[in-house]
Amino acid sequence: MRQINRHPTPGMRLMLVMLPFVLLLAAYFFGSAVRLEANPQDKLLPGLQQMLDAFSRMAFTPDKRSGEYLFWVDTLVSLARLLVGLSIASLIGLCIGITAGVFPLWRASLSPLMTVLSMVPPLAILPVLFIVFGLDELSKIMLIVIGITPMLARDLEHRACEIPPEILIKAQTLGANSWTLVLRVVLPQLLSRLLTSLRLLLGSAWLFLISAEAISSTAGLGYRIFLVRRYMAMDVIIPYVLWITLLAWLMDLALRQLHKRCFPWAEGGKA
């Protein structure tokens, strides 16, 4: 049988899913054991107990100066910034995507603009954002908005343009005006695509957030990682990175389930 025609059984699928993670963990802990055996004070590859102790200290022991549980404070601060940035980017991207995708006159102006803006490296203009918006929350949120919105708008515009023209013509024949077309025909299609696009852009959004927090912040997951790096505190950095990865995965899972629940008609073997 050709490999292209072979499909894993449910049990084999679970094994194949777990295999890369098991191999990565085994390689890490083997390397950690070798380094710690040679030098018990080694900080580069901390052992499991060292990371658990650091996590317990950050998550369940109040800070001596502020009395706060730093791990959870950092998590809440970062999530608030991320969710606000994604919400604003989604609203703006949806409006621009509908306008450029449905109305040809607006497309002639907005489509080239979004194409150019999507090519601008957001991290390159981070100093400009700090100068314009200051060093507080607004600059960090704006970095997410500026980094995500052009890509969202372009993707939604392309999805709007892919709607079969026969559907639009039939709706107009039945008496639908432009706004009825937007609300009853185009918007449901783009809301479905918006959730998929957000899933694809979550990694970029986290990248922008962590970068902004690392440069100018007093709290947040990115701030904490770059604060403790000067002490080579890998026992803190690695759990924080794993936590960020878990949060991103949970957000992706939530968006996937929301998509299935709200737009079952758009599900076609998507992962």
pLDDT tops 80 at residue 266: no
- Give start and end residues of each alpha helix (H) in 103-186: 104-118, 126-133, 137-161, 165-173, 178-181
Q: What are phi and psi of 135, to 5 degrees?
A: -100, 5
CA within 13 Å, CB half, 26 = 6
Whether pTM exceeds 0.85: yes
pLDDT tops 90 at residue 264: no
List the one residue out of 160, 157, 111 whose CA is nearest residue 168: 160
Instruction: Note the pLDDT tens digit of each residue in 157-214.
Output: 999 988 888 888 888 888 878 888 888 888 988 999 999 999 999 999 999 999 999 8
List the one residue out of 206, 236, 258 whose CA is nearest residue 79: 206
pLDDT tops 60 at residue 271: no
Alpha carbon distance 54, 4 (integer Å): 46
pLDDT at 90: 96
pLDDT at 20: 93
pLDDT category at 13 given cuts 50, 70, 90 is confident
Instruction: Note the pLDDT tens digit of each residue in 112-160.
Output: 999 999 998 988 888 898 888 888 889 999 999 999 999 999 999 999 9
pLDDT tops 70 at residue 269: no
pLDDT category at 268 given cuts 50, 70, 90 is low
Instruction: Note the pLDDT tens digit of each residue in 229-263.
Output: 888 889 999 999 999 999 999 999 999 999 999 88
pLDDT at 86: 96
Instruction: Say if residues 148 and 97 touch (Cβ distance below 8 Å).
Output: no
Average pLDDT, the chain: 90
Residue 98 identity (one-letter amino acid): I
Instruction: Note the pLDDT tens digit of each residue in 30-84.
Output: 999 999 989 888 888 999 999 999 999 999 999 888 889 999 999 999 999 999 9
